[in-house]
Amino acid sequence: MFQSKSSQQETLPLGIQLMLGKLLGGRYKIISHLGGGGYGQTYLAEDIHLPNNPRCVVKQLKPQITDAWNLQTASRLFNTEAEVLYKLGNHSQIPRLFAHFEENKEFYLVQEFIDGTDLSQELTPGQPISESQVFEILQQTLEVLDFVHQQRVIHRDINPRNLIRRKQDRKLVLIDFGAVKQISTRVFNAQTQGGETVAIGTAGYMPTEQVNGHPRFCSDIYALGVIAVQALTGLDPARNQLPRDPKTGEIYWRNRAVVNPGLANIIDRMILSNFQKRYQSTNEVIHDLNNWKSSQATLNLINNNNAAPSEISPLPRSKNKKSLQPIQLGLGLAVISIILLLFKIFISQQSQAVKTSNDTAKTTLNKSSAIDSKQALIPPVTSPIPEFRLSRSKANRVARFIKQGDRMIESGQYQEALTAYNNALAIKAAYEEAYWGRCYAFANLQRYQEAIEACNKALQTNPDYYKAWWSKGNALDALKRYNEALAHYDQALKIKPDFAEALINKGATLTFLQRYEEALASYDQALKIKPDLPETWNNRGIALTNLKRYPEAIASFEKAIKIKPNYQLALENRKQAQQQLGK
Which residues are designated catalytic? 157
Question: CA 16 to CA 25: how far, in whole Å?
Answer: 17
Distance CA 123, CA 234 (A): 7
CA distances from 52 to 49, 97, 583 (A): 9, 19, 39
Q: Using CA atoms, how far apart are residues 333 and 535, in angstroms rounded to an integer?
A: 10
Q: How many CB atoms lie within 10 A of CB 338?
A: 23
Q: How many whole angstroms separate alpha carbon 170 and alpha carbon 151?
A: 25
**In terms of Cα–Cα distance, which of 161, 273, 291, 262 is closest to 219?**
273
For residues 186 and 64, the answer to whether their CB atoms sit within 8 Å is no
Q: Which residues pair with 58 in a beta bridge?
A: 43, 110
In contact, 159 and 205? CB cutoff 8 Å: yes
Dihedral class, residue 472 (left if φ above 0, else alpha if ψ from -120 to 50, else beta): alpha
The number of beta carbons lying within 10 Å of the beta carbon of residue 419 is 14
DSSP line for 17-73: HHHTT-EETTTEEEEEEEEEETTEEEEEEEETTSTT--EEEEEEE--S--SHHHHHH
Crossing angle for the helix pair 414-427 and 432-444, nearest 10 degrees?
160
Q: Smallest Cα–Cα separation from 216: which of 275, 142, 273?
A: 275
